[in-house]
Structure 1
Amino acid sequence: MDSEWDKERSFEIEKVSPVYLVTALCVVPFAIYYLLNFLSPLIHRITAMTISEIYVYPIKSLRGVKVQEALGTQHGFKHDRTFMLLKVTPEGAKPMAVSREPEMTQFFQDISGYNTPDGKLTITFRAFGNAQDEKSLTIPLTPDTEKLEPVDVDLHGSPTPAFKMPKAHADWFTACFGYETMLVYIGPNTRAVLFQDMQPLEPDPLTRFLRDTLPFTRPYVSRLMGLHQTSQWRIGFADCAPYLIVSQTSLEDVSSRLPEGQDMDITKFRPNIVVKGAFEAYQEDYWGKLMINNRTEIVMAHNCVRCKSINIDYETGKPGTGASGEVLKRLQKDRRIDIGAKWSPVFGRYSFWGVGERDEVVRVGDRVNVKKMNEGLTVWSWPGLA
């Protein structure tokens, strides 16, 4: 028989247990939610991913060169997009791109002597994959600019001085394309990055007065105002950033949108670095910084918004047919996540070498960790380009 104390204790438990139960049902899910949100960046940071593929594109918009390692610099991988083709029209010479000139996919590139002063770039034109009717051109990877004619080039509103390659080179491309072209080399020049949130800070009137009126204060004022960004955020002939980083896991999601047996070709996204090992597709949308081998910081500044170039059939050099010609449309269903470019789906992140980071060789197999997770999505802000 229960004692009076046991009966009284049982009554109290029966009386208060529902309160505790309701409280637990309300509080515990929220606690778990906030705990996961707190741990998520930590999980990302300790999760080791790897670099699975590296690409460089000596001549912008031609087929990329898959390499095992490349020298990373502030302005991109060594020899990446240092050349560009221009289409000569009555209105002037205009930069060429796969989205407008899909026949550019029929040109293959090969590098010999990547790290030597006399390195060579061989371009092979193989129209429609016909190896029986191909022709090649070999040019220096690092031309002597003293022998070249200067020319001004404007790419996406960001101009730069450049150099015309010899007429014989332009004539070779003209014969392949069937219309007049020009090959230009950027040399030591760079272009400005025009993303609005990566522009130099504008000094207040007093600081501007000190900078412009008292020359001896200029170096100190520049450091104070962060004007080093003017030289920090510079690029070659890459569209908007020196590096484009994509996730293998996200690529698998794109392939899942195609008919069974069809896989999306990663080279159509034109990445510099492919990262393998992300838990879920599109986690990279929120990546703010990466670390490679715990020593090189990569700033992931903006989404890469996509155009119809990903619909091109690389075998024919023409717009794709069937599902492969609808990749852009299929991504538009749920990948239009950037309010700064609301009609364009996102795949990959435009990235920059970290401030003050020295040049480093990046290799396939290198460890990659997320150093910073953004709280929200970045917003596209390159003027006139979306």
Structure 2
Amino acid sequence: MSEPLAQRLRPRALSEVCGQQHLLGEGCVFRKTIDSGRIPNMIFYGPSGVGKTTVARIIAENSGMRLHKLNGTSASTSDIKAVLAEIGTLNSANGLLLYLDEIQYLNKKQQQSLLECIEDGSVTLIASTTENPYFYIYNALLSRCTVFEFKALQPADIEQGICNALARLSAEEAGPIEMPQEACQYLADACGGDMRKALGCLEFAATAAVPGPEGNRLITLEMVKQVARRTAMRYDRAGDDHYDIVSAYQKSMRGSDPDAALHYLGRLLEAGDLVSACRRLMVCACEDVGLAYPQIMPIVKAAVDIANMVGLPEARIPLANAVVLVATSPKSNTAYMGINRAMADLKRGKSGPIPRQLQNKHFDGEDALVKGQNYKYPHDFPNRWVEQQYLPDALAGTVYYEYGENKNEQAAKAYWDKVKKK
């Protein structure tokens, strides 16, 4: 079985790697450290297809140390023990380097088994992960390693990789393989910053290209569009891409940008994530529009109910209406900030007994200094209001809610200022 193009074209030196210049550029600390030959314990974090494994392999294979490669998806505890068993042997005279791909799949015990040998330097660890290491890797191991983030590749980086691949394919095949600039650009844009995905699509299109009269094969724009469909968007419901998209979705609505909000709604729906699209929409209506337009909450809830009833793809219609409404509505987070302040006080232990007049009991013990509940029923007073203490004594006078500047809250403020004669 032939080796995939992405595997055949792996760079053999850091200078051949496309992108990641924030790490690999001349003068960068990461590059200087690697070039010095002294390899520290490192964890590479970032999306798939951006060069994590490639860079790790280049470093490992040029380190001069005894190299072991394991993958977290298949490595067992006995595999790890077999690596550690070489510590102190002739094979490890120049040191042991363990390259561990997809480290997030190792359980806690397996990760902990590496701690002592990493601590004393008998094993150097280079690990890579597509998940946020601060969530998936245990703190004790994180504290012994330096985390480097690999970013999604830019279209220019992908385009360079495609050109390199075309040259390699042309040399390997019976005749040259040609690809117009617009097709190359389309593929570079469509792969979502994933070099592996771009090369996979390229290889597929190259296989389908029919040799012309002169023996050359042409990969057309139409061919690229057929193989690159639905590849432009990264999405993993359990990964960082999911949280980035839902974050951008709500922040766009909060920032009153309906165009961006619709874009991120589209990305969620394209991935089939109707649940997240509905949930963040309802949260935004309550958190960010709130009391500036309180009627929006049942409106958004109704739109979400319709979306869940009709399902995709029609769900996009009520949700689009609701998203635009939230994005273009006046904003107020006063209630949100108020509950946050109240809960922060509770977490700090600021509370106290409920005032006697509010308690649900109508008799007092013998030790009570003041007998009777003494609750004042607001409906018995003018304007249905009477001054009395509702907060516990320790919090008396504390203000959690502050009126917003929008029309609705200012109207309420004016009413209560008049009633309370402020």
Alignment TM class, shorter chain as reference: under 0.3
Is the helix fraction higher in 1 or 2?
2
TM-score (norm 1): 0.20
What is the TM-score when the length of structure 2 is the normalising length? 0.19
Q: Which has the higher contact order (CA 8 A, sep 6+)?
A: 1
The structure carrying a bigger strand percent of its residues is 1
